Each structure stands twice: as C-alpha cells, then as structure tokens.
Amino acid sequence: MDAAPTVCYRHSDRVTRLSCSECGRPICVECSRDAAVGQKCPECAGPRQRTRVISARSMSHADLRTTPLALILIGVDVAIFLVGALAPDFDHTEMQQRFAQYGPAIAAGEWWRGVTAMFLHGSVMHLAFNMWALWLFGPSLERRFGTVPFGALYLAAGVGGAALFQALGSGAWAVGASGAIFGLFGALLLGAYRQRHTRLGQAVFSQLILLLGINLMLPFMVSGIAWEAHVGGLVAGMVIAFAWDRLPDGGPFVVTQRTIIALCVAAAGLLVLILA
C-alpha cells in the first residue's frame, strides 16, 4: 500500500514536499518563511530567532524594494551593451580597447580594467546568459545578506576572477561578468551545503552541483571562455561566504563586518591582479 501523502501541519488539505529546516514539520508554500538558515515554519521563524520574516509569496520575484542592487546591475550591463550597439562613435570595439581586461595593459598600470571589464559583454548571448544568472542568484543573496555586502561580494568575485585570469591566462582580451556571477554561485553553493541534511537543502545542493559541473566543463567544449575567471570568482565567493558564516547572526555590526570581509578579499584580488 502506498504511503499517505505528506501534508502541511497547518493546512491538512495541502500536500507538500517542503519541511521546516529547524523542527522538521511539513509546511506548504504559504507557511514557508525564508530565513538565514533555510525555510522555516511560522513558529520557528518568530521574533525569538531574531530573523527577518519574509513570506514565500513575496519571494516569487525580484523588485526594487528588496533587491535594488541586483536589478540596477542588470540595468547597467544592458545599458552599456546597448550604447555599444547603437552609438556610432563609441561601439563595442572602442569600449574593449579602453575598458576590457588585457594583460599587457594591466601590467602597464591600467589595473582598473579588471573592474570595468565586468560590465562589458561580447555578444547578445553572452550578456543574456550572465544577466539571467544574475537575476537567478543575485536577489536571494541580496535579501539574505543586505544590499551593501552583496555589492561588495559581487565586486570581490569579479576582481578575483580577473586576478586568476591575469595570473594564469594567455594575456588575451577578456570581458564579462562571469567571474562575479560565479562568486554568487559559490556563496549559494556553500549555503546549500550547510543545509544538505534537510530534504529541500539536499535537492538544492544537488541541482547546484550539477549546474556547477556543466558550467565548469563548458570552457573545454566551447572556445573563447575564460575558465580562469570562472574559477577565480567561484573561490572568492566561497571564501567570503565561509567567513560570513562565522559571524554572529543578527549582530549589531554584521552588515559592516560582511562588507569589510568582502572588501578585504577584493583588495587581495586587486593586489594579485597588479602583481601578476
């Protein structure tokens, strides 16, 4: 005989596969509350946990009220690409000549190229893939850690990717936000690993591992992809998330501490970029 379907402990008429990451009780989408350590039931996510309670319904899409920077970054990247495509006197070639990552130019002192290259993309597909990934990964991290720490994480991961490309790459031209995107991916991967003992956490972690494997294999199947930037950004994001995890949750200075940690990683990446 088949086992009876699992239903929400607060709504007996709703079948669900979700469960509270703290008490383990089954919960439906309406009862789910997003917290720093996963999804919780309303009781476990109450004020005594000192966590910010966000209903699952409000998590259905990103908006400027909760994730301003993620959407601003997408808008800036798209706007820069359109300027290069439509402006007759300042096309993509001119932008790359001035702002793309190029080993000899950085070695000559133009270190800022490791940052400005994050906002350039070589094709519509390149832009679309990176912005889709930013839309997918960015809002949840910005909600969880705060807008300023999220921005510092994004910057540090992008610089980390540029640093590894400068150290190990061929010295060719490089553009794109892939290093920063992989940094966000690394931070999410570490969070999913900590929650892997829950049913939902295990499913998310498995999906992220599969997605990571596919993306890391792409440079070996498609030419012109800077795998060094991907790995550098991934490592930077995981290092930052690991350090953030050691901070007290909800402390009075946690936002400042997160930002300082990410900026220290960005400074280390910038130092490697210059010296490499």
| Catalytic position from the list 92, 121, 126, 230 | 230
Is the C-alpha dihedral spanning 16, 189, 154, 115 positive or negative? negative
Residue 101: which of 156, 22, 159 has the closest Cα?
159
Q: 173 by DSSP, 3-state: which?
A: strand
For residue 177, give Cα distances in angstroms to 16, 32, 210, 220, 274. Answer: 37, 33, 21, 19, 19
* Cα 201–chain centre separation: 17
Active site residue 178: yes
Active site residue 11: no
| Catalytic position from the list 92, 178, 206, 223 | 178
Amino acid residing at 95? M
Cβ-proximal residues to 12 (8 Å cutoff; 6+ apart), any chain: none
Residue 174: its H or E element: strand 173-174
Contact yes or no for 151/68 (Cβ under 8 A) = no
What is the secondary structure of 1-64 as a DSSP string?
A: -PPPPPB-SS-TT-B--EE-TTT--EE-TTT-EEETTEEE-TTTTSGGGT---EEGGGGSS--T
Range 237-253 burial, b when 16+ CB lie within 10 A, else e: bbbbbebbeeeeeeeee
Tell me the sheet residues that pair with 235.
Answer: none
Enzyme catalytic residues: 178, 230
